[in-house]
Amino acid sequence: MPESITRVDSTGFYAGQNRLVAIAVKVIVVSLVLWASLASDAGEILMDIQSGTIGYFGGWYVYASAVFMVVSLVLALLPRTGSIRLGADHARPEFSRFAWFSMMFGAGIGVGMLTYSTAEPLAHFANNPDVIMGTTSALERDNLAAAYKWTLLHYGLTPWGCYAIVGMSLAYFAYRRDMPLTIRSPFTAVLSPKTARRVGAVVDAAAILATIIGIGVTIGYGVNQLTFGMHQITAWDWLVNNGKPSLSALSLAVILLTLAAMLSALSGIGRGIRWLSNLNMALSWLLLAIFIVFGATAFAGEMFVGGLTEYLRAIPAMSVTIWEGGDTPTAQALSDWQSAWTIFYWAWWIAFTPFVGLFLARVSQGRTIREYVVGAILLPAMMCFAWFCIVGGTALDLELTGTADGTILGADLSAQLFATVENLFAADWVLPVATLCVVLLITYLVTSADSAVLVINTIVSGGATDGIRPRHIVLWSVMLGLVIITLLFAGGMDALRSAMIIGALPFSAVMLFMLCALVYALWQDSRSAD
């Protein structure tokens, strides 16, 4: 069966890889790099295409993400499907629960959690749809629950449901039907092998491109925050210019992180990747414990209960509401807010799904669908919310009590975590806590990047999970670094964001097909069992 849907070369440079997919993606990536390097208006063009994409397909992102979440939860809740094991009936998990969850969580969210743990609640405290519609007041206590409601929307059940449905589909076909662990495999549920090969090449290429751009945005935000952290630790002026990280600092950070990720990927998933995942999970708990002891713990508990309650009450409406603008300032403000936040997030998460979904599938063999959904949706969502309440709640409390005096709210998005550390701790404690944040950020960045490189090679190798040639790991690592640096020079984070939103669109259609294929396969197997 694997040979019938994907073909890899047996000799030459591309031995073990699908030559067509590999070359096609490299041509596209090199073309993007050259165009962004040579075209002076590349950033503006990407922004214009992004605006058109959001204008025409913003609603699609909203509805599709909601469907992915609902189907994932329903499959786990149904007794018949929830008990199905992702593997043979007698199969047992390869990794311990701690290692399994650490790898899944680290690959899926680490960098974004550090960057947005303060930025997200603070931004929504200042402005959100409830403020725009006048039901709450900006920067006032009556807006706290609403701020966390919108925060959890972007980091709760919906985004993790996007990851989960892709990983579940891939794992089911790989471990229950003995197909390659690659994006094209679910298509064989409804397509003939010949058609699946043709369509699969396009699907695999789209998945790799989405992965490169998605991880590019994550690393882009991460190196911005890393630069601010290094500046706080070292006070080196060349790291930050006019309140923004310098391009030279960002480029150096990308190069060093790419090298570290390449070395980790070369060591394999059972060594470097697992070790780094366990390390960053342990460091995450340590940093969280520090904020619990020294931060606004009582305030955080209040936010957790109030915010979670409001989120669960409002999630049905939030998941399907689309603001399309209009003639009134309020309508336009709502549309602009949704485009800048929710639609951006859904595109970001979708762009990340081929990478994270395949990685989740790779480490989840032997888990039941119900256990998988708990580990891939419920626990990560709750950990994200706890992190946002404890770390972000501390930042909010510092501003509400006047201790910060606007220094956290006024800081750059990527610098707000370090501004919180500076306002919370005495001078002797700032350096060690800031250093811990920087080390944790580095481990998350390297874990995300090395996992992405591994996944890219897995896709282009027709689902092979081992035996990947070192030269291909090196080559894809270099290409990833080049894309990030080029787009940063072309238009900074705006260019990266635009490329991601554009690139996520075709893969969202692939995800919908994967969902349908999974449901169809489960129905088929259920009928056979009867």
pLDDT digits (tens, 9 = 90+) for 411-420: 988 899 999 9
Query: Residue 89 corresponds to which amino acid?
Result: D
pLDDT, position 268: 67
Residue 350 has pLDDT above 70, yes or no: yes
pLDDT, position 111: 66
**473 close to 265: Cβ distance less than 8 angstroms:** yes
Q: What angle do CA 243, 249, 252 make, to 5 degrees?
A: 165
pLDDT, position 110: 61
DSSP state of 461: T
pLDDT, position 529: 66
Nearest residue to 461 via CA among 2, 8, 4: 8
Structure tokens at 144: 């706290």
DSSP state of 343: I
Average pLDDT rounded to a whole number, residues 199-212 = 86
**295 close to 390: Cβ distance less than 8 angstroms:** yes
pLDDT, position 2: 44
What is the rounded distance in angstroms from the CA atom of residue 506 to the CA atom of residue 498? 14
Nearest residue to 115 via CA among 406, 522, 377, 392: 392
Q: Per-residue b/e over 42-52, b at no fewer than 16 CB within 10 Å?
A: bbebbbeebee
DSSP state of 341: I
**68 close to 161: Cβ distance less than 8 angstroms:** yes
pLDDT digits (tens, 9 = 90+) for 130-159: 999 999 999 999 999 999 999 999 999 999
Nearest residue to 381 via CA among 109, 68, 98, 118: 109
Per CATH, the architecture of 2-529 is what? Up-down Bundle (1.20)
Average pLDDT rounded to a whole number, residues 396-401 = 95
What is the rounded distance in angstroms from the CA atom of residue 203 to the CA atom of residue 182? 10
How many helices (DSSP H) and strands (DSSP E) are in the chain? 20, 2
Residues written for the chain: 530
Percent of the chain with pLDDT over 70: 94
Contacts of residues 19-22 at CB distance under 8 Å and 24 or more positions apart, as own/partner, are: 20/201, 21/201, 21/204, 21/205, 21/208, 21/459, 21/460, 22/460
pLDDT digits (tens, 9 = 90+) for 278-316: 787 788 889 989 999 999 999 999 999 999 999 999 999
Nearest residue to 300 via CA among 148, 138, 403: 148
| More confident site: 15 or 150 | 150
pLDDT digits (tens, 9 = 90+) for 353-382: 887 888 889 889 999 999 999 999 998 888
pTM, full prediction: 0.86
**164 close to 377: Cβ distance less than 8 angstroms:** yes
Structure confidence at residue 3 as a pLDDT band (50, 70, 90): very low
Among 143-157, 201-215, 239-253, 460-474, which range has the highest average pLDDT? 143-157
Residue 176: other Cβ atoms inside 10 A: 18
Among 180-194, 422-436, 473-487, 498-512, which range has the highest average pLDDT? 422-436
pLDDT, position 243: 82
pLDDT, position 1: 41
Nearest residue to 228 via CA among 239, 217, 220: 239
Structure confidence at residue 85 as a pLDDT band (50, 70, 90): very high
Beta-carbon contacts of residue 414 (< 8 Å; ≥ 6 apart): 115, 119, 221, 224, 225, 227, 228, 245
Domain boundaries, the chain: 2-529
Structure confidence at residue 193 as a pLDDT band (50, 70, 90): confident
